[in-house]
Structure 1
């Protein structure tokens, strides 16, 4: 082979290698772009701020960041996020997991997540769904509004007026501004747990609940998504069979999920991160301040310093309702004092 022929062959090889590399880069960018678009469009948003207007509790005071001048700036101001677990969606997956019919939904789980100004501590306050409250008049999408309801079960707010009424009811009974709203349905929660490889929980008593189909001996168990969801819904197989016992199990799961997330390679394994993100976003409804992947990512980044042992879980103080032994009402002034710490 002559020097000219060898040079020509080398040039062709380099051109092919260059084209291959370029194609791989274009494919990679296109794949990443589609993945971002797919996750972003999974999320459903509700414009709660526009629906409720200005007749709401004030935002939390913006406090100076406690970080040192040379450290990375920490988010200023605390945040309160209303997190609801919906017990019904029209999808087949939710029905198979016990999500009820497609005619409506209830907030089977309600938690106010308070993040401190530096995002290094959090308080999760559970609100029993059987709490009797005064449900305020709530705006409806058709321009109408719901009627004020006295002595109504807390979880009825979501049933009659969706996320907007759930937020307004929580703000009404707490006096605390909900900066954001997040709802995840049954199948989304189960898929999240499965995507994380399951969670480890330790129960202090036997659980035998035929309604949630969960039977566990006291001790430590590794639960898959379906089992974890059953644990979150269990109430008849523990304690007095009330919603208060279930809240204890739900708070146990919150800690288990945080520990599992902190122990995974989500930030260093793109494939694992995408699997988890896809599982969550498909079943997620948020306010319009969190209904994009970029906004959720920014919130997630701000929580990187938050560990499970810095999360405090409590329940709104309640007492048995005088009108119904199967219902509860807020215990005052204890409940008011608790909510005051979140403002």
Structure 2
């Protein structure tokens, strides 16, 4: 996290402002949300690295050297949920804000190399790899974080009633995976992390992404100003869209999640419509950016592994994805926080464990953020 004199909303230890919940403009706190972005773009990043499959010698090894990986399995040990042998896969996708280098220019704050993750999605790929469900976890969810060990071997004591994104700032990727497994009872087979500076560049190199907005979106905090209508978003605009929270809905993180989910579908459609192999230079530039942008678990930490992983997902289009937010309710003690709706969340986790569709009853009546259908693909 940035070294700031005033606690930032969303940072562990910050109690947030109190007061009644209001709609859209002027609602609640004004966080400096210059970070993360829709980091499920890691899927796209993984797909682009097929250039390595050409066996292009130097290019292959250069791309391979770009990829950062962390040994999640060693850090977590054996005290984890059992692997489910039903042909499905579970991937935790995180968006990170590393407060250094080009990310500092986008996100503000001190150039201290610290980081936080404010975007988290569990991607469940069903047996046969033809469909997927995506469950977003709100960063403002109050949870009990388990004891965890980071990838450097550091031990971190358990903590009660902390925000979900505290797990990443405390113990990095390993602690985030441990926390998600504790909440869901589901083993994460893989881990992917994308930083938002790379996300912005990747969108620009793709030539932008087309979306349609049903209302004007204006948020000075995320530098976003879009009229209602069709747009081809630049990288900067895309980043603004997936990080805005004041410009739409009730101004909460839940509304931002709905925008992120809509953008994911638009991004997937965009990539499927591009013939990357017709332009080798463009393909290489995309692959170079993508492999510099992602951090993976050790099992995915090479071009060949990412190729194999991406090939297993290439049949999944936006229409084959169900996207929901983990069932939550607003915290009556603090309008800036949410609590897990336990019985309904359990329906989600049970469905994923059994490789079944998420029932509609699991999210009925839960907090949403009121930004559904504000953005759509194309």
Structure 2: unaligned runs, 5 residues or longer: 1-53, 354-378
Question: Which residue is 2:67 aligned to?
Answer: 43
Contact 1:88 1:99 in 2 (8 A): no
- Structure 1 pair 121–189 and aligned structure 2 pair: CA distance change class (3 A): same
Question: Which residue is 2:362 aligned to?
Answer: none
Structure 1: unaligned runs, 5 residues or longer: 1-29, 63-76
Contact 1:82 1:110 in 2 (8 A): yes
- Aligned residue for 1:314, secondary structure, equals strand
Residue 157 of structure 1 is aligned with which of 164, 167, 170? 167
Tell me how far 1:312 sits from its aligned partner: 1.4
CA distance in 1, matches of 2:262, 2:241: 10
Tell me how far 1:47 sits from its aligned partner: 0.3
Question: Which residue is 1:106 aligned to?
Answer: 116
CA distance in 2, matches of 1:54, 1:133: 22
Moved over 4 A (4+): none
CA distance in 2, matches of 1:95, 1:144: 26
Question: Which residue is 1:166 aligned to?
Answer: 176
- Structure 1 pair 255–99 and aligned structure 2 pair: CA distance change class (3 A): farther
Question: Which residue is 2:249 aligned to?
Answer: 239
CA distance in 1, matches of 2:67, 2:319: 29
Given the two structures, how large is their TM-score scaled by the length of structure 2? 0.76
Q: Greater CA radius of gyration, 1 or 2? A: 1
Is 1:210 matched up with 2:234? no
CA distance in 2, matches of 1:261, 1:119: 18
Is 1:53 matched up with 2:77? yes
Tell me how far 1:221 sits from its aligned partner: 0.9
Deviation track 1:244-273 (CA, whole Å, cap 9, x = no partner) reads: 110011001100110011001135543332
Total equivalences in the alignment: 300
Is 1:191 matched up with 2:209? no
Given the two structures, how large is their TM-score scaled by the length of structure 1? 0.84
Deviation track 1:99-148 (CA, whole Å, cap 9, x = no partner) reads: 64334211121111111111110111110000000011111345431111
CA distance in 1, matches of 2:169, 2:346: 25
Contact 1:88 1:100 in 2 (8 A): no
Q: Which moved more, 1:220-229 or 1:315-324?
A: 315-324
Question: Which residue is 1:22 aligned to?
Answer: none
Q: Larger RCO: Structure 1 or Structure 2 (Cα < 8 Å, ≥ 6 residues apart)?
A: 2
Question: Which residue is 2:129 aligned to?
Answer: 119
- Aligned residue for 1:309, secondary structure, equals helix
Question: Which residue is 2:281 aligned to?
Answer: 271
